[in-house]
């Protein structure tokens, strides 16, 4: 009997020595993985196995997202350019970063980011986690360094405590990028009049003008659905929609170096577009009317322009209806 006990003791010791030290006790509800609240009609997004959502993680990520500690001079947070009350955009053609400098492009909304297969207008960044490094290191945005952000966080007992709660680990580049991405993946949009009509089958949710706009949007006359499609109004492809004859920003070609990709940008979502002016990668269009006039005209000649972007016989009423439909994509 004594011998048996000794063996059991020895085995537990060995097993214990083998255990990884990142296991956290799983009793606290805020540490439990929860199911994302996805808008109806939307699929469940894929979430990395090492970064499933918990309340601790989301709360920590949200705090970091809103904290200027991430920038060199502690003036700029992620929220400076992705403002919650502006549907996570900033209303500027080119976002303003540290010391009055300007980002090279227009700040996109990060709502429904969980569905984006790659990040940035040119798709140059592969994951929501890795994207966090972009603005931190960008000299025009936060002009800082992820390792130095981590040093700051480690000196802050409140943050150290929250990182331990969230990941069972100290602040590190790994946990910093995980936490912010974890929060971002909880940001959804999908409660517009259009969703009422479409997914709740409420035929009165859209008025006559909006319905006509919707018809044009999804038929060959307006032809918007070729690119702006499905629940997030994008197929995430790279397209040249004929903004310029000469593109100052080469877009996708910056990543691929292919001449055939010049002027191609990731098709943006159109959800809440009423509230996210100005438009396009360079914020060059101030109003939705301008955008519709652009598509009606067929845009500028460019060898890479999609052949779906071509002059369209839209009446003044059609144009108004299209704009009204776009406005029906605003969250209620």
Partner 1 sequence: MKKNIYYFILILVTITTVSSCKKDTETPASTEETLSFHLHRNVGTADGIYDSLYQTASGRKFNITDYRFYISNIVLIKGDGSLYPLTGKVILAGPSAMEYELQKVPVGNYKGFTFMMGLDSITNHSDPTTFGAGSPLAVQTPSIHWDWNSGYIFFKVEGKVDTTAAANGSADFDYLYHIGMDDLKRTIDFSTNAFSVVSGSPHELHIEFDLLEALSNVDMRTENMTHTMDNFPLATKIADNWQAAWSAE
- Give the interface with ligand HEC as residue ranges (CB under 6 A): 65, 70, 76, 78, 80-82, 95, 97, 103, 105, 107-108, 110, 113, 116, 119-121, 128, 131-132, 135-136, 141-142, 180, 222-224, 226-228, 239, 241, 243, 265, 267-268, 270, 273, 276, 279-281, 288, 291-292, 295, 306, 308-309, 322
Choose among 272, 69, 264: nearest CA to 156.
Answer: 69
Question: What's phi and psi for 320, nearest 5 deg?
Answer: -60, -40
Binding track, positions 143-182, relative to partner 1; x by CB under 8 A: --xxxx-----------------------xxx--xx----
4 binds, among partner 1, ligand HEC, none (CB under 5 to 8 A by kind): partner 1
Q: What is the CA radius of gyration of the chain?
A: 24
User: Which C-beta is closer to partner 1: that of 16 or that of 85?
Assistant: 16
218 binds, among ligand HEC, partner 1, none (CB under 5 to 8 A by kind): none
**Rounded (10°) angle between helices 55-65 and 173-184:** 100
Which of 39, 45, 91, 124 touches partner 1 (CB under 8 A)?
124
- Cα 209 from Cα 76, distance rounded (Å): 42
- Cα 25 from Cα 168, distance rounded (Å): 9
* Cβ 199 to ligand HEC shortest distance, Å: 21
Tokens of 5: 């006990």
- Cα 240 from Cα 123, distance rounded (Å): 14
Tokens of 218: 């999804």
- Cα 295 from Cα 316, distance rounded (Å): 13
* Cβ 105 to ligand HEC shortest distance, Å: 4
Determine what percent of the chain falls in helix, strand and coil, rounding each to the nearest 5. 45, 5, 50
Which of 41, 117, 126, 311 touches partner 1 (CB under 8 A)?
126
Q: Does 18 bind partner 1 (CB under 8 A)?
A: yes
User: Which C-beta is closer to partner 1: that of 11 or that of 221?
Assistant: 11
291 binds, among partner 1, ligand HEC, none (CB under 5 to 8 A by kind): ligand HEC
Residue with tokens 């502006």: 86
Cα 290-293-297 angle, rounded to 5 deg: 140
* Cβ 1 to partner 1 shortest distance, Å: 10
Residues in region 178-237 near partner 1 by CB under 8 A: 178
Residue with tokens 């070609």: 253
User: Which C-beta is closer to partner 1: that of 18 or that of 332?
Assistant: 18
Q: Residue 113: how many CB atoms within 10 A of its CB?
A: 21
* Cβ 16 to partner 1 shortest distance, Å: 10
The answer for 297, left when phi > 0, alpha when psi is -120 to 50, beta otherwise, is alpha
* Cβ 185 to partner 1 shortest distance, Å: 16
Q: Does 14 bind partner 1 (CB under 8 A)?
A: yes
Q: Does 130 bind partner 1 (CB under 8 A)?
A: yes
| DSSP-derived 3-state class of residue 163 | helix
Query: 192 - beta bridge partners?
Result: 331
Binding site for partner 1 (CB under 8 A): 3-4, 7-8, 10-11, 14-15, 17-18, 120, 122, 124-127, 129-134, 137-138, 145-148, 172-174, 177-178, 254-255, 257
């Amino acid at each position: 009997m004594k011998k048996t006990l000794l063996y059991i003791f020895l085995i537990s010791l060995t097993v214990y020595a083998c255990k990884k030290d990142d296991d956290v006790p799983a009793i606290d509800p805020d540490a439990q993985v929860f199911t994302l609240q996805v808008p109806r009609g939307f699929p469940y997004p894929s979430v990395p196995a090492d970064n499933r959502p918990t309340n601790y993680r989301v709360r920590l990520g949200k705090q970091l997202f809103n904290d200027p500690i991430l920038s060199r001079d502690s003036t700029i947070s992620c929220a400076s350019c992705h403002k919650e009350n502006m549907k996570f955009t900033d209303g500027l053609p080119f976002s303003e970063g540290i010391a009055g400098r300007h980002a090279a492009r227009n700040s996109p909304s990060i709502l429904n980011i969980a569905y984006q297969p790659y990040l940035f207008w040119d798709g140059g960044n592969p994951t929501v986690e890795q994207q966090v490094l972009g603005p931190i290191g960008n000299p025009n945005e936060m002009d800082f360094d992820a390792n130095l952000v981590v040093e700051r966080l480690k000196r802050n007992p409140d943050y150290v405590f929250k990182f331990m709660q969230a990941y069972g680990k100290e602040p590190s580049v790994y946990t910093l990028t995980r936490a912010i991405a974890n929060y971002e993946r909880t940001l959804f949009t999908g409660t517009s009049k259009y969703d009422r009509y479409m997914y709740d089958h409420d035929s009165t949710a859209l008025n006559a003008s909006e319905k006509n706009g919707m018809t044009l949007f999804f038929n060959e006359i307006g032809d918007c659905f070729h690119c702006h499609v499905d629940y997030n109004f994008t197929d995430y492809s790279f397209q040249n929609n004929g903004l310029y004859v000469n593109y100052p920003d080469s877009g996708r070609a910056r990543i691929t170096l292919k001449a055939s990709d010049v002027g191609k940008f990731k098709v943006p979502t159109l959800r809440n577009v009423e509230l996210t002016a100005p438009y396009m990668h360079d914020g060059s269009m101030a109003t939705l009317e301008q955008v519709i006039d652009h598509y009606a005209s067929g845009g500028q000649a460019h060898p890479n322009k999609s052949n779906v972007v071509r002059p369209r016989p839209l009446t003044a009423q059609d144009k108004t209806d299209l704009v009204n439909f776009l406005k029906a994509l605003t969250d209620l």
